[in-house]
Homo-oligomer: A and B are copies of this chain.
Amino acid sequence: MNQVRLSKVMELMKKQDLEQILISDPAGIFYLTGKWIHPGERLLCLLIKAGGDHKIFINELFPVTDDLGAEKIWYNDTQDGVNFVAEHTDSSKALGVDKVWPAKFLLRLMELNGASSYINGSEILDRVRMNKDEDEKQKMRIASELNDKAMGKIQKELVEGITEVKMSQLLAGIYEELGADGFSFNPIIGFGANAADPHHDIDKTVVKEGDSVIFDIGCVKDSYCSDMTRTAFYKSVSDKGREVFEIVKEANLRAIAAVKPGVRFCDIDAAARDYITEKGYGKYFTHRTGHSIGIECHDYGDVSSINTMPVEEGMIFSIEPGIYLSGEVGVRIEDLVIVTKDGCEVLNKYPKDLLIIK
């Protein structure tokens, strides 16, 4: 187990007077143990105890020989794995459980009286994961460097007759050539009216002249995620498209300029949102300004109007304001930033000036 990370977790457990927590999220288990285990619908959890003597419960179908820093408790498909968990939790104490732990396991553990009470204990690990160490920052830089390169290549593929689905397939090949480990999320490549729908699933729409084209793409490299958005226009741009583009770009720059330790996430959100509102498009910026990112593309901690947490050095998150005029034009511009001592480092170097792809 990574002892620095583990000791931070145990420190927060102590602060919260919590002597036992269960971590079930594979990303959380990877963060602490360095090992990915993907159990599908089967039980997998790591029990961290204030007194040490940690346990990890694993199905025999996923044989792991590495030392995980926790005793492995094996079970198989003919056994009730939660029974083993209940044998190792302290039934007289509260238990922090992972926010994503499926009800089928939690209800069974309750039935077996695994603990005196149950609380959502995820904030402890989530909080520790927000502040990236040097190794993580370096991996995030590398993943974004690959993403910058991929953006250059995929924009060149926008040609007459191409569909969103085809672009996404080409992007998979581009990441592979660049040595990335795959998508960090299903890319959103949206043409025209689809670009104006921030939750569009890619389809077989063909690009046409005048379309705004959103490229919201990211890859995984060495278990860390990149995520960047650029918006281009195909062959020509309308006056409205140009106007909206420049507003979003300025909002992106203002939010980035607002980032430094001590500033609250909601203040960064406001830096983008207030400007867009001032320009008359507030109601067309329909989502939060950003999200934390690391091992998961959406890590804990939003850049949103209701998150009053101050940002700290080492946090990494996206800045991605957008304006969506339904059926007409959509623009989003997104970069990742690392909070530094007195500002931030922008991980994406890809140009963000208005681009018309001929």
Interface residues of A (CB under 8 A from B): 40-41, 61-62, 77-78, 97-104, 106-108, 118-120, 122, 165, 169, 172-173, 176, 199, 286-288, 298, 304-306
Contacts and interface: CB of A to CB of B under 8 A. Distances in A.
Contact of A102 (B77, B102, B173, B286): B102
A304 B79 CA distance: 13
Report the copy number of this chain in the oligomer: 2
Contact of A106 (B78, B106, B169): B106
Contacts of A101: 102-103
A41 to B, nearest CB: 7
Nearest to A305: B78
Given A102-B99, A199-B61, A304 B77 contact: yes
A183 B6 CA distance: 38
Contact of A306 (B78, B98, B107, B287): B78
Nearest to A97: B103
B120 A288 contact: no
A288 B76 CA distance: 12
Given A41-B298, A104-B120, A119-B107, A288 B99 contact: no
Q: Which 4 A-B pairs have the closest CB atoms?
A: A99-B104, A101-B103, A100-B102, A97-B103
A99 to B, nearest CB: 4
A119 B286 CA distance: 37
Contacts of A304: 77
Contact of A120 (B61, B99, B103, B298): B103
Given A41-B298, A77-B304, 4 more contacts: A101-B102, A104-B122, A106-B107, A108-B120
Q: Which of A176, A298, A305 has the most CB of B within 10 A?
A: A176
A233 to B, nearest CB: 26
A97 to B, nearest CB: 5
Contact of A77 (B103, B176, B288): B288
Contacts of A107: 97, 106, 118-120
A103 B104 contact: no
A59 B165 CA distance: 27
Contacts of A99: 102-104
A100 B106 contact: no
